[in-house]
């Protein structure tokens, strides 16, 4: 249904994330991947979804003047927001270990912003999901880091991994958002371009 409606559009996913690419396949979208290296730096005064909104649009703006009439560019950014601080991707093993210790027995927010950009308009929207971890032992954290190496993930975890099965006690909101893309919101927004 969506594929037929969007046939006139050329959807461009500007993300190297295998999870986002898989979602696009599973949503049965025709798309191409176009990547640009972007330095993900944001002003220090930004908080929570202001950060992800800024970064998603920053990534889209890198394609300014490159889009064709029927192109719809999709960029996104995800952070874990805990106690007034953004947890991005870990720098290394020790950083990942510390992040997971912080998340243990706590509720945090996973915030993903998506920017849709065409020749005519730029639109940014975001999704916030609350995730609660049970208490994680140091042994469980080490097992997860050694076996799943989640160093490319915000907050150092993937809900779809082993840690999500054994460590997450509650989720309020979109599951796909926690994986990295609020697919239901994206679907609705793309339909507006059809």
pTM: 0.93
From the candidates 77, 92, 152, 161, give the one annotated as an active-site residue: 77
Closest CA to 95 of 48, 152, 56, 135: 152
Spatial distance between the Cα atoms of 150 and 156, rounded to a whole number of angstroms: 5
Closest CA to 166 of 141, 149, 192, 185: 141
- Annotated catalytic residue 92: no
pLDDT score, position 2:
59
Backbone angles phi, psi at 142, to 5 degrees: -65, -40
Question: How confident is residue 94, by pLDDT bands cut at 50, 70 and 90?
Answer: very high
Tokens of 125: 């929207």
- Angle at Cα 70 formed by Cα 67 and Cα 74, nearest 5°? 60
Domain count across the chain: 1
Q: What is the mean pLDDT of the chain?
A: 94
Look at residue 194 and tell me whether its pLDDT is greater than 70: no
Look at residue 62 and tell me whether its pLDDT is greater than 90: yes
Question: How confident is residue 6, by pLDDT bands cut at 50, 70 and 90?
Answer: confident
Look at residue 78 and tell me whether its pLDDT is greater than 90: yes
- Residue 94 is part of which domain span? 2-193
Q: Which residue has the tokens 């290296």?
A: 37
DSSP reduced 3-state for 107? strand
For 107-140, the pLDDT digits (tens) are 999 999 999 999 999 999 999 999 999 999 999 9
pLDDT score, position 104:
98
Higher pLDDT, 145 or 28: 145
Q: What CATH code is carried by the domain that includes residue 87? A: 3.90.950.10
């Amino acid at each position: 249904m969506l594929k037929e409606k969007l046939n006139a559009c050329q959807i461009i996913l500007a993300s190297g994330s295998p999870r986002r690419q898989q979602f696009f396949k599973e949503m049965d979208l025709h798309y191409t991947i176009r990547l640009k290296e972007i330095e993900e730096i944001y002003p220090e005064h930004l908080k929570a979804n202001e950060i992800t909104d800024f970064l998603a649009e920053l990534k889209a703006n890198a394609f300014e003047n490159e889009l064709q009439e029927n192109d719809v560019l999709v960029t996104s950014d995800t952070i874990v927001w805990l106690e007034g601080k953004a947890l991005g991707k870990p720098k290394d093993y020790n950083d990942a270990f510390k992040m997971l210790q912080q998340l243990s027995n706590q509720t945090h927010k996973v915030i993903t912003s998506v920017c849709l950009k065409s020749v005519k308009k730029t639109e940014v929207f975001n999704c916030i999901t609350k995730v609660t971890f049970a208490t994680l032992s140091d042994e469980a954290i080490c097992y997860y880091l050694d076996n799943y190496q989640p160093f490319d993930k915000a907050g150092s975890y993937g809900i779809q991994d082993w840690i999500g099965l054994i460590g997450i006690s509650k989720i309020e909101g979109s599951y796909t958002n926690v994986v990295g893309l609020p697919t239901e919101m994206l679907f609705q927004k793309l339909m507006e371009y059809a």
